[in-house]
Chain A
Amino acid sequence: MADWLERNVPRILLAPSFLIVLIFVYGFIAWTAWVSMTRSRLLPKYEIEGFIQYDRLFAAPRWDTAMNNLFIFGALFIVVSMMLGLLLAILLDQKIRIEGTLRTIYLYPMALSMIVTGTAWKWIMNPGLGIEAVVRGWGFESFVFDWVIDPDMAIYAIVVAAVWQASGFVMALFLAGLRSVDDEIIKAARVDGIPTWRIYSAIVIPSMAPVFLSAFIVLAHLAIKSFDLVIALTGGGPGYATDLPATYMYAMAFSRGDIGQAASSAMIMMAVVFAIVVPYLYSELRVKRG
Chain B
Amino acid sequence: MKRIKLVAVAAVILVNPSLALAEPEAEVLHWWTSGGEAKSVAVLQQEFADNGGTWTDMPVAGGGGDAAMTALRARVLSGNAPTAVQLKGPAIQEWYEEGALADISAVAEAEGWADVLPASIADHMRCEDSWCAAPVNVHRVDWIWANADVLKANDISMPGTWQEFNAAAEKLQAAGIIPLAHGGQAWQDATVFEAVALGILGADEFRKAFVELDEAALTSDAMVAVFDQMRTLRGHVDRNFSGRDWNLATAMVMNGEAAFQIMGDWAKGEFLAAGKAPGVDFLCASTPGDGFLYNVDSFAMFNVDGEDRQAGQALLARLIVGKNFQKVFNLNKGSIPARTDVPLDEFDSCAHLSADDMSASSQNGSLLPSYAHGMALRGAQAGAITDVVTAHFNSDMSSADAVNMLAAAVANSM
Contacts and interface: CB of A to CB of B under 8 A. Distances in A.
Interface in A42-70: 42-43, 56, 59-62
Contact of A239 (B382, B390, B405): B390
Nearest to B72: A42
Interface stretch (B90-98, B262-270, B360-368): B90-98
A261 B186 CA distance: 20
Interface in A199-243: 234-241
Interface in B97-130: 98
B380 interface: yes
A254 interface: yes
Contact of A42 (B63, B95, B242): B95
B79 interface: no
Contact of B412 (A43, A56, A146, A255): A56
B16 to A, nearest CB: 35
Interface stretch (B221-229, B276-284, B294-302, B391-399): B391-399
A146 B243 CA distance: 13
A254 B71 CA distance: 10
Contacts of B378: 41, 257
Interface string B301-340: 0000000000000000000000000000000000000000
A254 B63 contact: yes
A238 B244 CA distance: 10
Given A257-B91, A257-B380, A59 B412 contact: yes
Given A43-B73, A254-B63, A257-B380, A237 B94 contact: no
Judged by DSSP, the binding face of A is: loop
Interface in B11-69: 63, 66-67, 69
Nearest to A122: B243
Interface residues of A, number: 31
A241 B189 CA distance: 14
A151 B70 contact: no
A236 B69 CA distance: 21
B412 A251 contact: no
A89 interface: no
A151 B395 CA distance: 7
Contacts of B391: 61-62, 239-240
A149 B240 contact: yes
B379 A258 contact: yes
Chain B interface residue bracket vs A: 35 or more
A148 interface: yes
Contacts of A122: 243
Given A149-B242, A240-B387, A254 B69 contact: yes
A62 B387 contact: yes
A258 B380 contact: yes
A74 interface: no
A127 B243 CA distance: 12
A239 B186 contact: yes
B251 interface: no
A41 B185 contact: no
Contacts of A254: 63, 66-67, 69-70
Given A149-B242, A251-B383, A257-B378, A238 B184 contact: yes
Interface of A: 41-43, 56, 59-62, 122, 126-128, 146, 148-149, 151, 234-241, 251, 254-258, 261
The 7 closest A-B pairs by CB, nearest first: A239-B394, A256-B379, A149-B242, A238-B394, A257-B379, A239-B390, A128-B240
